[in-house]
């Protein structure tokens, strides 16, 4: 996210106002549409008791909230970059550390969702005992605590090394976090989180695939669960790809002209930062028959009749 902002620091000096406004409109309008979709999904989750008590739906709702906040933060930083707006250091600090924490919460939540599917398929008799309402919310709390470690470290270092916090500047990690130590912290936490989450997802996928081969397993449920975990792995891949935006930036600056590099960076912003946050909740929600039926009803303002299957929800067996 910040790398994209850095590449846009001089955009208003080289790009025509029409081109700039068109790209801003397309980005913001698409985000508004998906924010509405996410909003309807969150509303749907609050309309049935089972959606508020079952661990899989609690984690899904958490993903919706985090991805929605991530989307809002991405668009806000994008608009600041495109409009070349300067903000106070303290405001920029709040935006950047919040964006970092939300990004890491989103990543770690994928691990929680994969583990929930692992327990549902591999330890079905203890699923209700392990994934209680209280334990699920406790796990979410731990995820938030872990995600704020890097941000709190950066805040402490910032206040101990920077005395002019009232200064206005272009908001990006490069302009605000100039010390090399910040980069080392970012790389360390990124590697730890992604390696850990990748291990959990692959472990869950392999375990569910192994159980699916046994005769006593519900083949259909295991197959759906494995597809769900595979979806989480794809989501993680998109998150990892967004980190490579900075590397892509350096390459295109060397081998292409400036306008081409701006267009490529805009493409990276849309593909790796906007759409993963928008499409993942939609795809995940639509795969759940009980949830999707009720969601379509509210999304169409009641024009589409509720499917009778929304009352027949299999918590531990579904995908």
Output the DSSP codes for 239-272.
HHHHHTHHHHHHHHHHHS-HHHHHHHHHHHIIII
Average pLDDT over residues 101-108: 89
What is the CA angle 128-113-295, rounded to 5?
90
Q: How far apart are CA 168 and CA 92, in angstroms?
A: 9
Nearest CA-CA partner of 281 in 38, 29, 28? 38
Whether the pLDDT of residue 61 is over 80: the answer is yes
Whether the pLDDT of residue 101 is over 70: the answer is yes
Higher pLDDT, 313 or 62: 62
- Quick one: DSSP state of residue 33? H
Reported pTM: 0.79
* Bridge partner list, 168: 88
In this prediction, residue 9 carries a pLDDT of 41
Average pLDDT over residues 202-230: 73
Average pLDDT over residues 278-304: 75
In this prediction, residue 11 carries a pLDDT of 40
Q: Give the H/E segment covering residue 87.
A: strand 86-88
Average pLDDT over residues 258-262: 65
Average pLDDT over residues 259-277: 71
| Residue carrying structure tokens 């309807």 | 40
Q: Which residues contact 93 (CB under 8 A, 6 or more apart)?
A: 155, 158, 165, 176
Which domains occur in the chain, in start order?
2-307 (1.20.1070.10)
Check if the beta carbon of residue 273 is closer than 8 Å to that of residue 4: yes
Q: Which residues contact 255 (CB under 8 A, 6 or more apart)?
A: none
């Amino acid at each position: 996210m910040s790398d994209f902002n850095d590449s846009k620091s001089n955009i208003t000096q080289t790009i025509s106002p029409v081109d700039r406004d068109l790209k801003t409109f397309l980005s913001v309008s698409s985000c508004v549409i998906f924010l509405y979709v996410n909003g309807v999904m969150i509303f749907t989750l609050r309309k049935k008791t089972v959606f508020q008590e079952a661990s899989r739906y609690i984690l899904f709702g958490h993903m919706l909230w985090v991805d929605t906040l991530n989307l809002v933060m991405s668009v806000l930083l994008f608009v600041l970059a495109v409009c070349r707006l300067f903000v106070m250091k303290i405001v920029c600090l709040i935006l950047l550390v919040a964006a970092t924490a939300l990004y890491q919460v989103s990543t770690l939540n994928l691990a929680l969702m994969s583990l929930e599917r692992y327990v549902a398929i591999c330890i079905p008799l203890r699923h209700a005992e392990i994934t209680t309402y209280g334990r699920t919310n406790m796990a979410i709390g731990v995820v938030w605590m872990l995600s704020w470690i890097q941000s709190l470290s950066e805040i402490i270092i910032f206040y101990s090394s920077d005395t002019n916090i009232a200064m206005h500047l272009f908001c990006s990690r490069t302009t605000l976090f100039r010390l090399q130590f910040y980069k080392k912290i970012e790389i360390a936490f990124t590697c730890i989180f992604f390696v850990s989450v990748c291990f959990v997802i692959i472990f869950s996928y392999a375990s569910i695939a192994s159980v699916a081969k046994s005769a006593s397993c519900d083949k259909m449920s295991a197959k759906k669960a494995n597809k769900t975990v595979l979806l989480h792995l794809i989501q993680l891949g998109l998150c990892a790809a967004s980190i490579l935006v900075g590397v892509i930036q350096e390459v295109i600056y060397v081998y292409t002209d400036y306008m081409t590099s701006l267009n490529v960076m805009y493409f990276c912003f849309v593909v790796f930062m906007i759409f993963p946050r928008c499409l993942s909740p939609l795809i995940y929600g639509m795969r759940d028959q009980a949830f999707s039926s009720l969601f379509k009803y509210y999304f169409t303002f009641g024009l589409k009749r509720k499917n009778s299957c929304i009352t027949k929800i299999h918590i531990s067996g579904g995908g």
